[in-house]
């Protein structure tokens, strides 16, 4: 990837390097109205990539604002890259297509640009309801062969309902299973990557296989429960704060720029107008090799999103060697 590139090349088209995250922790860190207006502000600020998921419960407001901006002639549908994700409770091959259709309905579009398997961990179907879908009960684990779920993801692609299909929160071994069975390759993987969690082996493996990598919680998710309990994240890191002063850029901009130069796309979430603008304004400066190395040395190999409620699931992905 060109260091100054605003986009990554995919099997089918391009993915803008910066997208807006739309997970509000079920309204705790952004009301539906705030998320809707964030999407509008983001479009005005130049965002053309929106990261959604069925389970976030925000697709309705994202879709409403995208439709409004299309109707106003500000953007055309083809200008925006929309990702959505298959939730754990819909791994049953009979449910995959239905979930995507439900997402398309909420997003008010007839296709998405990327449809990802959100996790490799299937759970019992509890209906199309966000809250029920977060069961912590091991009795609700339900495994379908990853190959069978992928076949349905491929069907969604063949039906023209998604331009690309991909993975999220998969290990190297689970990704290999998909490569070994697929007729359509996964073109993207969305995983946690931050200066504190470089996820190096997985990133290298996926890029080596021709996939693009998207870094989720790129800023270290300051409103994640672990952070709210007091664990400091990269936004408060002294080395990054010093670099921010030297370069005249915010810590968030330094982190996002780092992750783009590291070879990934980034999907910071914000409902704050100034931050929405700040987070996409990362293409007018560059980090030197020395600065990149100094940020890499902050790696703690400690992930934030460990989905402890799925810990005993046979496909639990977060114990794999780093
Ligand atoms: N595939 C997966 O399993 C998975 C998992 C987690 C997340 N994701 C995706 O990744 C997106 C981002 O992850 P995330 O929301 O957990 O974490 P994040 O983007 O690292 O952090 C978001 C938080 O940082 C604050 N923030 C945003 N810009 C800032 C800035 N410039 N300076 C200071 N604070 C700033 C936001 O607050 P305000 O909104 O109040 O401004 C928000 O609370 C999600 O929204 C979702 O789309 C995917």
pLDDT by residue for the chain (322 residues), tens digit each?
A: 444 578 998 877 899 999 999 999 999 999 999 999 999 999 999 999 999 999 999 999 999 999 999 999 999 999 999 999 999 999 999 999 999 999 999 999 999 999 999 999 999 887 766 555 677 788 889 999 999 999 999 999 999 999 999 999 999 999 999 999 999 999 999 999 999 999 999 999 999 999 999 999 999 999 998 888 889 999 999 999 999 999 999 999 999 999 999 999 999 999 999 999 999 999 999 999 999 999 999 999 999 999 988 999 999 999 999 9
Tell me what pLDDT residue 139 has.
Answer: 84
Q: Tell whether ligand 1 has an atom less than 6 A from the beta carbon of residue 29.
A: yes
Residue 112 phi, psi dihedral angles, 5° rounding? -110, 165
272 C-beta closer than 6 A to ligand 1: yes
CA of 213 to the centre of ligand 1 (A): 17
Point out which residues pair with 114 in neighbouring strands: 83
- Tell me the CA–centroid distance for residue 13 and ligand 1, in Å: 25
Q: Would you tell me how many other CB atoms lie within 10 Å of the CB of residue 229?
A: 7
The answer, yes or no, to whether any atom of ligand 1 lies below 6 A from the CB of 168, is: yes
The SS3 call for residue 8 is: strand
In whole angstroms, how far apart are CA 295 and each of 21, 198, 262, 268? 23, 10, 11, 18
Half-sphere exposure at residue 187, Cβ-oriented, CA atoms within 13 angstroms? 21
Q: Give catalytic status of residue 56 as yes or no.
A: yes
Sequence-distant (≥ 6) Cβ neighbours of residue 27 within 8 angstroms: 57
φ/ψ (deg, to 5) at 10:
-110, 170
Nearest CA to ligand 1 atom 5: 216
Q: Which residues pair with 234 in a beta bridge?
A: none
In the set 47, 56, 196, 216, the catalytic residue is 56
CA of 144 to the centre of ligand 1 (A): 30
> Which atom of ligand 1 has the smallest separation from the CA of 218?
20
Domain ranges in the chain? Answer: 13-310
DSSP assignment, residue 222?
T
What is the model's pLDDT at position 128? 60
Asked whether 10 and 211 are in contact (CB, 8 A), the reply is: no
CB of 222 within 6 A of ligand 1: the answer is: yes
For the CA of 278, the nearest atom of ligand 1: 31
How far, in Å, from the CA of 281 to the mean position of ligand 1? 16
In the reported structure, the alpha carbon of residue 181 is separated from the centroid of ligand 1 by a whole-number distance in angstroms of: 33
Q: How many Cα neighbours within 13 Å face the side chain of 8?
A: 26
Cα separations in angstroms, 278 against 47, 109, 257, 271, 281: 11, 28, 12, 12, 5
Closest ligand 1 atom to residue 271 Cα is 39
Q: Compute the residue count for the chain.
A: 322
Fold of 13-310: TIM Barrel (3.20.20)
pLDDT given at position 13: 84
What are the strands of the beta sheet with 49-51, ordered from one edge? 20-21, 49-51, 81-86, 114-117, 165-168, 188-192, 212-216, 265-266
- CB of 217 sitting under 6 A from ligand 1: yes
CB-CB contact of 110 with 159 (8 Å): no
């Amino acid at each position: 990837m060109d260091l100054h590139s605003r986009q990554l090349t995919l099997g089918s088209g391009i993915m803008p390097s910066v997208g807006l995250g739309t997970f509000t922790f079920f309204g705790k860190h952004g009301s539906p109205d705030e998320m809707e207006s964030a999407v509008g502000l983001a479009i005005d600020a130049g965002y053309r990539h929106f990261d959604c998921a069925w389970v976030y419960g925000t697709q309705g407001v994202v879709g409403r604002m995208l439709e409004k901006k299309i109707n106003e002639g500000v953007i055309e549908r083809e200008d925006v890259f929309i990702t959505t994700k298959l939730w754990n409770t819909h791994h049953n091959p009979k449910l995959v297509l239905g979930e995507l259709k439900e997402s398309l309905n909420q997003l008010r579009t007839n296709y998405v640009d990327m449809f990802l398997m959100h996790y490799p961990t299937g759970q019992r179907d509890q209906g199309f309801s966000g809250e029920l879908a977060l069961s912590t009960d091991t009795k609700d684990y339900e495994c379908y062969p990853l190959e069978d779920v992928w076949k349905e993801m491929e069907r969604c692609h063949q039906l023209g309902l998604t331009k690309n299909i991909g993975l999220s929160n998969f290990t190297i071994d689970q990704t290999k299973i998909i490569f070994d069975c697929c007729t359509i390759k996964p073109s993207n993987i969305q995983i946690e990557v931050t200066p504190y969690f470089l996820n190096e082996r997985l990133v290298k493996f996926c890029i080596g296989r021709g996939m693009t990598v998207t870094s989720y919680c790129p800023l270290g998710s300051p409103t994640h429960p672990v952070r709210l309990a007091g664990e400091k994240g990269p936004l408060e890191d002294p080395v990054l704060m010093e670099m921010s002063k030297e370069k005249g850029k915010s810590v968030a901009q330094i982190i996002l720029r780092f992750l783009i130069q590291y070879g990934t796309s980034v999907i910071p979430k914000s409902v704050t107008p100034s931050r929405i603008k700040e987070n996409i304004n990362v293409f007018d400066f560059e980090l030197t090799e020395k600065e990149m190395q100094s940020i890499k040395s902050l790696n703690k190999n400690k992930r934030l999103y460990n989905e402890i409620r799925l810990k005993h699931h046979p496909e639990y992905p977060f114990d794999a060697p780093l």
